[in-house]
Amino acid sequence: MAPPKTKAATAAASSITSAPTTTQTLEPYWEYRFEVPHSSILTIKLVSGTAEKDGTELAPNTPYAFTATKSKINTWHGCTLEITAPSSGTYDAYTSEPNADETPMVSYLNLHFKLESLRAAAQRTAQMGPRVLVVGPPNAGKSSLVRTLTSWATRMGRQPLVVNTDSREGMLTLPGTLSAAVFATLIDATTDWGTLPSSGASAIPVKLPLAYYYGLPQSDDNPKLFKRMLGRLAIAATSRLAEDIDVKSAGMLIDTGGVPAGTRGAAYYDFVAHIVAEFSVNIVVVLGSERVGSEMQKRFSGQITSVGETVTVIGLDKSGGVMDRDEAFMQSIRESAIREYFFGNARMTLSPFTQQVDFAAVSIWRISEASSKTAADGGGITYDEGEVHTDMLEKAEPSMMLQNCVLAVACASVHDVPDNIRDANIMGFVYVADVDEKRRRLRILAPVSARLGDRPLLWGSWPEHMVNLLI
């Protein structure tokens, strides 16, 4: 595929009083790609024509404010955009000018129409719709592709079940979780997946996810726990498909983390195989990597699912507009998500409930990490029942180590056995603002007023301590 022609258009706002507005005209198949840091807000308005962001169609003459994002707006038939630069701060943007033969968006659209034909057939026969798994290297655009396919499906009147298996990023919830949600309405174009359920009223219907807390950044940090959480999520997802005929025919779209480099890649492929088995995946989409595509073909091509379907492996090119997101940028994204969960955003300010809790009044369980990981023995962890593994949960006593930590509130009782607490989905999160070891008390922030002593609290290393939440 020939590389698209690009025309640089880097812009910067210089003063607090000036917010220059420019007009950008896009021809069919062109894209407007932009990068906005956390300190800036870029406003984009569709003046004429049609355009979309990750499959969500922009409403005409409606301003969309973007911050802390690297994304693009594409058009199939041409459009005119009105770009209002930040009143303070900077942003980077340029226009990509591919034709229909040069843009991978055409292949993404072809995949969507193929999925639609499978959904229509499943609807006629009351069978299960396609279960699609998207894999690939980091920064290949996997989440963007899943969002795009989701948005296109909802525009066709479908209700796909979207599953996130990447604990480094949260879908409609905070990082550290594995989650699933049915998407029956459009996605807020100014966000990745939509407004968090705790963020108050929204013009766009809020999606309510089912989430399980893993509490660690990498799948191989505790392989047995990760696979256990995947299994619980798969049971819940397949049950929803069985109970809701509209969701059943729409099927599933499953997002994954990037394929890690080096020896950890082998463990990643084992987790992918586990996802394929647990969710009865029948379509594996490999984005932006021939090497990963070859591995997927070797493992799954011709394999039969639990419902008797053949697994199909599809390779797609990644978009030229995919931008690398370094660790500093991703940490800022995580901190913004936590801040929004407790304090809201520019459109809705929230006031979290603060309470003092005695050490003895809370039940805290810490997520265990795998110890002594080496390349030779796979981390001292094996993946089958009955073999050597670290414990998944351990009872923890409150201490100064809890300060500035986010804890997950399990949908279980403090009197439940550890296995039930581990397997429970989560109700939400609280933040430990202060630990007074002398008085043996915790100062805790929560989105709502509720007694914490009735629910176990799960403590993991992900997301990281956020020391500046109250600053």
The ranges assigned to domains in the chain are 6-96, 105-316, 343-459
70 marked among binding-site residues: yes
- Which of 199-208, 226-235, 386-395 ranks highest by mean pLDDT? 226-235
Higher-confidence residue of 133 and 199: namely 133
Residue whose C-alpha is closest to residue 137's, from 373, 334, 324: 324
pLDDT of 87 > 80? The answer is no
Across residues 115-123, what is the average pLDDT? 97
CATH superfamily, region 343-459: Pre-mRNA cleavage complex subunit Clp1, C-terminal domain (2.40.30.330)
Find all residues with CB under 8 Å of 153, minimum gap 6, and list them. Answer: 112, 115, 116, 119, 159, 160, 183, 250, 253
> Quick one: tokens of 164?
């996130």
Given a cut of 90, whether residue 459 has pLDDT beyond it is yes
**Percentage of the chain modeled with pLDDT above 70:** 90
Tokens of 118: 């499978």
Asked if the domains 6-96 and 105-316 are classified in one and the same CATH topology, the answer is: no
Segment 175-203 shows an average pLDDT of 84
Average pLDDT over residues 228-241: 95
140 is in an annotated binding site: yes
List strands edge to edge, sheet with 364-367. 353-358, 441-446, 426-436, 406-410, 457-459, 364-367, 393-396
Q: What is the mean pLDDT of residues 291-296?
A: 93
pTM: 0.90
Going by their DSSP bridges, the two strands 353-358 and 364-367 should be labelled as unpaired
Q: Is 301 annotated as a binding residue?
A: no
Neighbouring CB atoms inside 10 A of 465's CB total 14
439-456: average pLDDT? 90
pLDDT at 345: 79
Mean pLDDT across 74-101: 91
The topology under which CATH files domain 6-96 is Jelly Rolls (2.60.120)
Neighbours of 68 (CB within 10 A): 17
141 is in an annotated binding site: yes
> How many residues belong to the chain?
471
Which residues are CB-neighbours of 21 under 8 A, at least 6 positions away? 82, 83, 84, 85
CB count within 10 Å of CB 324 equals 8
Predicted confidence band of residue 434 (pLDDT cuts 50, 70, 90): very high
Mean residue pLDDT of the chain comes to 88
**8 A C-beta contact, residue 93 and residue 35:** yes
31 is in an annotated binding site: yes
**What mean pLDDT is predicted for residues 87-91?**
79
Q: 113 burial class (0-12, 13-18, 19+ CB within 10 angstroms)? A: exposed
Asked which of 16-25, 148-157, 291-300, 434-443 is least confident by mean pLDDT, the reply is: 16-25
pLDDT of 464 > 60? The answer is yes
d(CA 255, CA 162): 8
* Ligand-binding site membership of 249 (annotated): no
Query: CATH class for domain 105-316?
Result: alpha beta
Please tell me whether 319 is known to bind a ligand: no
